[in-house]
Structure 1
């Protein structure tokens, strides 16, 4: 029955199978317009966040990781004797993990969730060495959140008290034995950004080295700022931990996958997006930089703006108001800094700049530059108008640039320094008014 360990991954690496397995198109949100505005917006957001349409990067990464897990499982179960040996005397191997990195909100966690949906579920099998059937698990998902050391991660995996006096080497050996017995073929480590604060990158390095020492194929999720910190470690650490980065970028503005995402948002909103589809797609992209989390938040805030205007459907003007709202402020600052990075490739913010020297995609740069040129042209056009023409332009609702600078208040003419006669006149008028009272 050991053959089950080698065949449980059959057919899971097929690209079309992966696409069908991980794609999620949620049921439309339904009737929410009778609910209070914020509650209705919450239901809309919950529905939109269920959408997952994998791009080529996600599918290829999932296929790569499933393939590595399948190869590892086959290697550990070439025969029943080899499998039993691994239960007691695991090979002292070390693996170099894959570092999945990208901007916050680009879809890294959603891709990991999709990967876990593709991995085979628990599989029961029997070997002569054991009297009762064993249950094989395909992966180990671990969260670094709240962990104080790599040792604590191992004790959680083994299901023992974190206060044990066993050293890390002993726990690592026991974890290897347990992983081989349970048929675990992939380790997934997420939420690295939520590690115990104040311990810097040393804690992160400790946890990653502990995990890689288990000998399992491994992927860990990292934001850009963590990548910058890891690259400042010694050579022996960087060559182990960040030698295999996989950088996830936002979808291109004119790509089919972005168009499909917008179409799915329109379908999920159940008729609440009535703007022209092409214009809607363009405005959402320029307001979110193609980041799915930001795009969904912008759509939800647009719905809130529509409800404040006594409407139940979204128009382009609602997107503009949502973009400049206080609720979208944190996203707006990130988007505008990302646009500056796309043009200059320089910034002081490590969380927005790729640590591995990979430049922003050329088609995204072209989109940003075109938008900047359009804004410059609009500003030049408005600057050439007379006061009367500007009022006419505004009345026609042609001023729809949500990133235009707010109009400056005209400065009042200075009153000038009062003369002695002015002061005397003011003094006399003040006492005349008092007499009348």
Structure 2
């Protein structure tokens, strides 16, 4: 409760707007898991996966997106709440009008890149729910944001009934939802898991109707969508596309050599400090190559690796590389390889892997940069990690005699010029061949 505040709807945001506060509140560090070996295997795997899924390191990209959402919610409150007197006057009007300030916003990205985790982090960084006392003595809850889980909704009426707890349909439900949002000071709505609705036969039309229903409330809202859903929405008529696709933010994987990626791996290592023995700095690029920077795939890879060594309980880069080759990781491995070697044919067949609103040149350049970083690290990390111990020993002896020839990579000074396309393809194929072997 904000005592004595003249405008609690706006002032509740003041402590939460700067980057330091956002990063501190967004960070989620699960309690370390100890004595995993002593647990029954399946229980240990379950505990490990849940902790890895819950862990959240707020990268520079995350903080930037969260800060923007907070700023939009803050601006919404500034435009719609000027104080107690105005609030009571509008509250008792027959119809509540909300001043719109933004279009619908879309958060998109690869499946498993961390969209849901980012939305959950938003719940932590937005002001907590509190109560205020109006000038006429009424206790009113202030709810800064709300997350709507969309996979169980089938139509706009269900969606709005869930939002406002009301009855009826159509315009009546919209008015009820708008009144509740104003009364409770809801300044932002997150619609997550819309992609699950794509399983229905009338997916495109129903998704569009649900999104437009939320958009009609006048509250800033973000909907999370995978690339497949964006391709679907992009086929809708112009008026709908203008309402729903005007503001798209792509949540991209961290760079393989970035501080953010290393800090993310360090946080994951803290979850099982007695078990995880990989090096978040030295192994960062190699580990990125095994999951393409997708956090869900990285969590899955760690669990698969641990499953095979539960009896001894240590997971390092060798165990992760073996897990990469495992049957349980086959689907993820297919995605990783497709992302690392994106061609016109791959883009045609795998629309779930690329953003239709992002230029092909941008995607190609990003992957070229990531590939170059992986290849520069290739001889010292990825190839060696993929080899059995005996082969690594022979490789090391060969390297001392004929470095370039033994590594299979042309001798060159990478600091003087960028790798060519042919070299990238050649080195990537060597990397893949190494992963298939052993």
Q: TM-score, normalised by structure 1?
A: 0.81
CA deviations over 1:296-341 (Å, ceiling 9, x no partner):
111111112223xx53212333122211111111111111111122
The one of 156, 166, 169 aligned to 2:162: 156
The equivalences for 1:185-200 within 5 A come to: 185-195=187-197, 197-200=200-203
Q: Which one of the candidate residues 6, 19, 23 is aligned to 2:23? A: 19
Report if the CA contact (8 A) 1:342-1:360 is conserved: no
Q: How many angstroms does 1:236 deviate by?
A: 0.7
Matched, 1:145 2:151: yes
Q: Determine the structure 1 residue equivalent to 2:178.
A: 176
Q: 1:394 to 1:261 in 2, by over 3 A?
A: closer
Shift of 1:225: 0.8
Q: Tell me if 1:62 matches 2:66.
A: yes
Pick which of 391-400 and 31-40 moved more. 391-400
Q: 1:73 to 1:396 in 2, by over 3 A?
A: same
Instruction: Please give the residue correspondences for 1:325-364 in structure 2 after superposition, counting only pairs within 5 Å.
Output: 325-341=326-342, 346-358=347-359, 359-360=362-363, 362=365, 364=367
**Does 2:126 align with 1:123?**
no
Q: Mind listing any 5+ residue stretches in structure 1 that lack a counterpart?
A: 379-389, 409-437
Matches within 5 A, 1:217-366: 217-307=220-310, 310-341=311-342, 346-358=347-359, 359-360=362-363, 362=365, 364-366=367-369
In structure 2, C-alpha distance between the alignment counterparts of 1:407 and 1:74, rounded to whole Å: 61
- Residue aligned with 2:131, SS: strand
User: After alignment, is 340-349 or 135-144 more displaced?
Assistant: 340-349
- SS of the residue corresponding to residue 342 of structure 2 reads helix
Task: Output one character per residue of 1:251-282: Cα deviation in whole Å (capped at 9) or x when no partner.
Answer: 00000011111222222221323345545323
8 A contact 1:283–1:319 mirrored in 2: no
CA contact (8 A) 1:86 1:181 kept: no
Change (3 A) 1:336 1:243: same
> Secondary structure, in 3 states, of the residue corresponding to 1:220?
strand
Aligned equivalents of 1:252, 1:316: Cα separation in 2: 19
How far apart are residue 151 of structure 1 and its match?
1.5
CA shift in 2, pair 1:92/1:257, >3 Å: closer
Q: Which has the larger radius of gyration?
A: 1
1:93 Cα shift?
5.1
Following the alignment from structure 1 to structure 2, what is the Cα–Cα distance between the partners of residues 392 and 47?
Answer: 35
1:86 aligns with 2:90: yes
State the Cα distance separating 1:74 from its structure 2 match: 2.3
Distance 2:336 2:218 in 1: 40
Contact 2:110/2:227 (CA < 8 Å) preserved in 1? yes
Please tell me whether the aligned partners of residues 188 and 220 of structure 1 are also in contact (alpha carbons under 8 angstroms): yes
SS at match of 2:434: coil
Superposed, 1:20-59 pairs within 5 Å as 20-59=24-63
Do 2:96 and 2:178's aligned partners in 1 also have CA atoms closer than 8 Å? yes
1:345–1:111: structure 2 CA closer, same or farther, 3 Å change rule? same
Residues 372 and 336 of structure 1, relative CA distance in 2, 3 Å threshold: farther
CA distance in 1, matches of 2:259, 2:119: 22
Q: Contact (CA 8 Å) 1:224, 1:351: kept in 2 or not?
A: yes
Cα gap change, 1:232 to 1:300, in 2 (>3 Å): same
1-side partners of 2:264 and 2:321: how far apart? 20
| C-alpha distance in 1 between matches for 2:343 and 2:28 | 31
CA contact (8 A) 1:253 1:364 kept: no
1:247 is displaced (CA, Å) by 0.6
CA distance in 2, matches of 1:277, 1:373: 18
CA distance in structure 2 between the partners assigned to 1:402 and 1:370 by the alignment: 16
Give 3-state SS (helix, strand or coil) of 1:346's partner.
Answer: helix
RMSD: 3.1
- For 2:129 and 2:221, the matched residues in 1 are separated by 19
1:140 positional shift: 2.6
Check conservation: 1:122, 1:136, Cα contact below 8 A.
Answer: yes
Q: Distance in 2 between matches of 1:406 and 1:253?
A: 22
Aligned to 2:434: 404
Task: Give secondary structure in 2 for the equivalent of 1:404.
Answer: helix
User: How far 1:367 sits from its partner (Å)?
Assistant: 3.3
Kept after mapping to 1: 8 A contact 2:338/2:346: no
1:413 is matched with none
Relative to structure 1, is the Cα distance of residues 331 and 21 closer, same or farther in structure 2, using a 3 angstrom cutoff?
same
**Once the 2 structures are TM-superposed, how far is the Cα of residue 222 of structure 1 from its aligned partner?**
0.8
With over 3 angstroms needed to count, the CA separation of the structure-2 counterparts of 1:405 and 1:14, relative to structure 1, is closer
Shift in alpha-carbon separation, 1:345–1:194, aligned structure 2, 3 A: closer
